[in-house]
Amino acid sequence: MREITVGLLGCGNVGGGFWQLIIGARHHLAAHKNLSVDIRHILVRDVNRPRSVAVPRSHLTTDPWRILEDPEVDVVVEAMGGFEPARTYLLEALRRGKHVVTANKVVMARAWDELHEAAQASGACLFYEAAAGAVIPVIRSLPGLSVAPVRAVYGILNGTSNYILTRMAEGLSQADALAEAQRLGYAEPDPSDDLDGRDAAYKIALLAALAFDWSPDLDGIEMKGIRNVSTEDILAAQEAGFDLRHVARAERDESGQVKVSVAPVELPPGHPLYGIRGVENAVVIESDVFGAVTLKGAGAGPGPTATALLGDVCRVVDRLVWAEPSPAVSPAGAAADVAAGAAAAASAAARWRGESR
């Protein structure tokens, strides 16, 4: 039996969903993957807070060092969200040679270069399938497809905005559709990232980085959300035979420049994104060599996201079985990196615990 020990950062909707999936899939993992996954520690802000999942109190901690310094923790799974302190914790984990699996599109988009450099320096795995498209295997697929020149990558990448547009097409106002999405757990209490297009921008930045070897430049993304889209706009598009969807797009122009945009778009029948409803996501990868590949599926919710996280944990296990020697790292340099990272992580932990919920 292959065994791997996990330290989990965060126990909200996604972290709690990951815990439930591990507990529910134990027999399946043992029978079909010959794998046992042990979640040793779970970082939370408050161990006394009521939770929707039954997690043993002994697993909970407010101290990130329980995870970062435990030599038996093989993989750090991050489900906190936000930029800091998640970035600091992930960098510290990678510097210490721990493998990282994350669902955090904000950290991956804004700290792409430094996270990959830290992983390369330590030889640790850095996997982030859950950060864009949840259970849709687009991040896993892109490196293989991009061996041929990719012309464009585009898709519906935000399940919340897609759900809102779907319900508006059925006659609801945007305010009512948003309230419904929040009741169902599809939208956060503060839905700004979804309505203004930032969530989709983070995700398309990751896909562009993989497709075009592009260092994410969030300031260079042309971004327009759905906040100003009215029910009348959607119904008028429908009457004209179009489907109004929020589309994120990255393409390389004739000069070689990568252009990235997020905006509401009217799609004609026959378009690969036409008819994508509810929280479903879809991604299209186009190339002059292989034509177009479309991937679609559930793009929101704790279940799909937790499944993608567990899939990446299994990828870490497979990588360890076939592991190659890690690149050489200067012991003195590594010690200095760990010492600097420790101070940063301590500061980040203090700030995070002091933040309001």
Q: Region 86-106: what's the mean pLDDT?
A: 97
Q: What percent of the chain has pLDDT over 90?
A: 78
Q: pLDDT digits over 166-193, tens only?
A: 999 999 999 999 999 999 888 888 999 9
pLDDT band at residue 224 under the 50/70/90 scheme? very high
Q: pLDDT digits over 317-340, tens only?
A: 998 876 543 333 333 343 444 444
Strand spans (E) along the chain = 2-9, 35-43, 60-61, 75-78, 99-102, 126-127, 152-156, 222-223, 243-252, 258-267, 280-287, 291-298
Return mean pLDDT, the chain: 90
Q: What is the pLDDT of residue 349?
A: 54
Cα separation values, 120 from 94, 128, 250, 293, Å:
9, 15, 26, 30
* Other residues' Cβ atoms within 10 Å of the Cβ of residue 58: 8
Strand spans (E) along 232-352 = 243-252, 258-267, 280-287, 291-298
Among residues 33, 203, 224, 296, the one annotated as catalytic is: 203
Judge whether residue 76 has pLDDT over 50: yes
Q: What is the pLDDT of residue 335?
A: 41
Q: What is the pLDDT of residue 347?
A: 53
Q: What is the pLDDT of residue 329?
A: 36
Q: What is the pLDDT of residue 203?
A: 97
Tokens of 71: 């030599």
132, 203 Cβ separation under 8 angstroms: yes
Please list the residues that pair with 264 across neighbouring strands: 246
Judge whether residue 278 has pLDDT over 90: yes
Judge whether residue 46 has pLDDT over 80: yes
Q: Region 244-267: what's the mean pLDDT?
A: 95
In the chain, the domains with their CATH numbers are 2-133+303-354 (3.40.50.720), 138-299 (3.30.360.10)
Q: pLDDT digits over 262-272, tens only?
A: 999 999 999 99
203 included as an active-site residue = yes
Q: Higher confidence at residue 265 or residue 254?
A: 265
Cα separation values, 92 from 98, 99, 192, Å:
9, 11, 30
Q: What is the pLDDT of residue 256?
A: 86
Q: What is the pLDDT of residue 188?
A: 86
Q: What is the pLDDT of residue 325?
A: 38
**Rounded Cα gap, residues 113 and 12, in angstroms:** 27
pLDDT band at residue 302 under the 50/70/90 scheme? confident
Q: Higher confidence at residue 336 or residue 252?
A: 252
Q: pLDDT digits over 290-299, tens only?
A: 999 999 988 7
Tell me phi and psi for residue 319, to 5 degrees: -65, -35
* Other residues' Cβ atoms within 10 Å of the Cβ of residue 241: 9
Q: pLDDT digits over 112-161, tens only?
A: 999 999 999 999 999 999 999 888 999 999 988 988 999 999 999 999 99
Q: What is the pLDDT of residue 328?
A: 34
